[in-house]
Structure 1
């Protein structure tokens, strides 16, 4: 009698990432993940009922990674003018890897038709914007945060490939934007 292969949720998530990196989001499917993980389709369906569920799991995993890295970097940047902002800038010092790029492309190509993915991205943005309000000069922090997002998006989508020196120089400019931006007397509020 053949033994059923034991596989963890972590291993299934690894398989989802590999499928997206190798084949792209358009070919992401429960079948492709099952084949990549070397398990039955029913085992994948047990945890992820649809392609949307696979994408949500992929996003959740990337957000969790980012949250952990940002938490560590906030502690490293505790003496900076705005630890939450400067942690995110420091995170951008490292070029995105193939998995981060694939996740960004998967999210981007799927968001227009997937309300649940839009909601997850909106929640993450609100989370980040609240973090920008937590330090000094929240208006400046929001402006610089959106500048940083623009910088990151170009790399995530493969539109620009910065050298380490170019990346560091640009990020120093972003840090200088925050330092030189005067805070207005009346703070602005955002709505989502």
Structure 2
């Protein structure tokens, strides 16, 4: 039986992620992705012109997935004060799977060597930070809380620091308290109290 002539883009990206997990992003080849997906190399080329385009599509899909989850959290917050940082804290409380960690770690090494692959990540973080600052009662506290969350993510993603679940929860509770400081300050100025 021959290889399929076409493939859904998400199925192709699933195959690419499987190759990244197995071989690392630096070793991804269009042939390896084609073999994993059960399609011809020309089918992969039709969907993604080259390896860089394939990796870029993977990065953009991961960003879109995170933004979709953030949108769901934000909708549940119903435009509450500090919704930007509260959304980031809620995202940080979610456990990252080992598969996700492996893909992100491998992609990070490749992104560090290719400025074009970093462009959508920079744009994503610019949007996130803008939302945090625009929705914050006190932007300084929210900004510091954001940096703390991202620092924790970095240490975890690169497997430099792995907190036990209780310590991780307490750390995120501390970051939440930091973000709440702005709410507490606004209360004394007549603002409404809102839980993070």
Query: What is the TM-score normalised by the length of structure 2?
Result: 0.84
How much does 1:113 deviate?
2.8
Does residue 169 (structure 1) correspond to residue 170 (structure 2)? The answer is: yes
Change (3 A) 1:103 1:124: farther
Q: Distance in 2 between matches of 1:168 and 1:97?
A: 17
Task: Name the structure with the higher helix share.
Answer: 2
**Total equivalences in the alignment:** 183
1:27-176 correspondence runs (5 A): 27-78=27-78, 81-135=81-135, 136-176=137-177
Gaps of 5+ in 2: 187-196
CA contact (8 A) 1:132 1:142 kept: yes
RMSD: 2.1
Q: Distance in 2 between matches of 1:3 and 1:58?
A: 23
Gaps of 5+ in 1: 184-192
Structure 2 counterpart SS, 1:111: helix
How much does 1:117 deviate?
1.3
Structure 2 counterpart SS, 1:134: helix
How much does 1:128 deviate?
0.9
Corresponding residue of 1:190: none
How much does 1:144 deviate?
1.1
Corresponding residue of 2:9: 9
Q: Which deviations, in whole Å up to 9, do the C-alpha atoms of 1:46-79 show, x marking residues without a partner?
A: 1112221111111111001100100111122347
Query: What is the TM-score normalised by the length of structure 1?
Result: 0.86
